[in-house]
Amino acid sequence: GQNIDQPTEMTATEGAIVQINCTYQTSGFNGLFWYQQHAGEAPTFLSYNVLDGLEEKGRFSSFLSRSKGYSYLLLKELQMKDSASYLCAGMDSNYQLIWGAGTKLIIKP
């Protein structure tokens, strides 16, 4: 079956670094997406990886290892506004997104 696993909740301190892990199993693979979802709002696109390695975009970076079925989202210099859920989604061979339940990130001052 297809499955996305990520931690339910994480807590970090303002100004610190946090890594949110995701493991995936999809039927075929066409890439791994990360979305941010603030409470009561729509998911918004953060990153897309289809090749192994690290993609850096400002304070956010995303890593992919296809052989391990593993990705992580790295957030640096955390700000209070980064408090949100972070959704990992794998794209299968039919270009359908398989979503994780999201990791709720709580930032403390």
CA-CA distance, 23 to 38, in Å (whole number)? 22
Of positions 20, 43, 69, 82, contacts another protein by CB under 8 A:
43
The owner of tokens 């990520």 is 6
CA-CA distance, 66 to 17, in Å (whole number)? 24
Of positions 26, 62, 71, 85, contacts another protein by CB under 8 A:
85
Of positions 45, 57, 81, 109, contacts another protein by CB under 8 A:
45
* Phi, psi angle pair for 76, to nearest 5°: -105, 160
Residue 57 beta carbon to another protein: minimum distance, rounded to whole angstroms: 13
Span 19-38, contacts to another protein by CB under 8 A: 30-31, 33
Helix, strand, coil content of the chain in percent (nearest 5): 5, 55, 40
- Rule CB under 8 A: is residue 57 a binding residue for another protein? no
Q: Which one of 16-24, 57-65, 69-77, 83-91 is the stretch in contact with another protein (CB under 8 A)?
A: 83-91
- Going by C-alpha positions, the residue among 76, 101, 55 that lies closest to residue 13 is 76
Residues at the contact surface with another protein, assessed by CB under 8 A: 30-31, 33, 41-45, 48, 50, 85, 87, 89, 91, 94-97, 99-102
